[in-house]
Amino acid sequence: MGTKRAEISDIIARYGKVQNLISYVNAETLKAKHREMPKDKASGVDKMTWEEYDKNLDQNVEALLARMKQFSYRPQPARRVYIPKANGKLRPLGIPCYEDKLVAAVMADILNEVYESIFLDTSYGFRPNKSCHDAVRELNRLIGSCKVSYVLEADIKGFFDNVDQKQLMEFIARDTDDKNFSRYITRFLKSGIMEDGEYRRRAEEWLKQVRKREPRMFAHWALYGNF
């Protein structure tokens, strides 16, 4: 997706907004992302594994794109499981269906390119050629060379449990102009979870999956999105 990423960055630089993002969700990007996906991850409610999907990759991707073009593709609920935490409590996890995971990963790559080009230089988290060590070095430089009275450390508690979907989509619309791409983001947000055979309509599962792949995007939203 290297060439496509350069195209997106160039469009953002020239026009401020990028259109037709959904065109980057294509056979080339989906197959490339499939090859990058871990092969040993647990399956979702459809029981589809990497190996099974790979057996008929061309046909699977072709059928997926046909459904996306017809707008009949709808992400399935994520399978809810729990894993133990160090404090003895349980952490809930959502395991998406493989095809949903694949589409979400490609869309996350696209959104990443949109927002990477407009990040501030002072944003260090999860960015190419930047690290927490770079942030610490810059902080040390500022403290040593400037008059600093306070250093503020902040965290957002329960972001995925409380995110406002309408406001989130409005924020994405500031930098993108593709209703079809936004439509699929909305469908992911509303795909919900399946726990003990019961469907629950919750948005945070897709957000968590995208955050795992492109956490810098969420860092930007949190800092500059006026949530």
Cα separation, 120 vs 138, in Å, equals 14
Question: For the chain, how are helix, strand and coil distributed in percent, rounded to 5?
Answer: 55, 10, 35
**Residue partners of 179: CB distance under 8 A and separation at least 6:** none
Q: What is the DSSP letter of 61?
A: H
pLDDT in tens, 25-57: 999 999 999 999 999 999 999 999 999 999 999
Sole residue written with tokens 């800092």? 223
pLDDT score recorded for residue 44: 92
Is 50 exceeded by the pLDDT of residue 227?
no
Cα separation, 227 vs 223, in Å, equals 9
* pTM score, whole prediction: 0.78
pLDDT in tens, 83-129: 888 888 888 888 999 999 999 999 988 888 888 877 888 888 777 78
The top-scoring range by mean pLDDT among 16-25, 63-72, 146-155 is 63-72
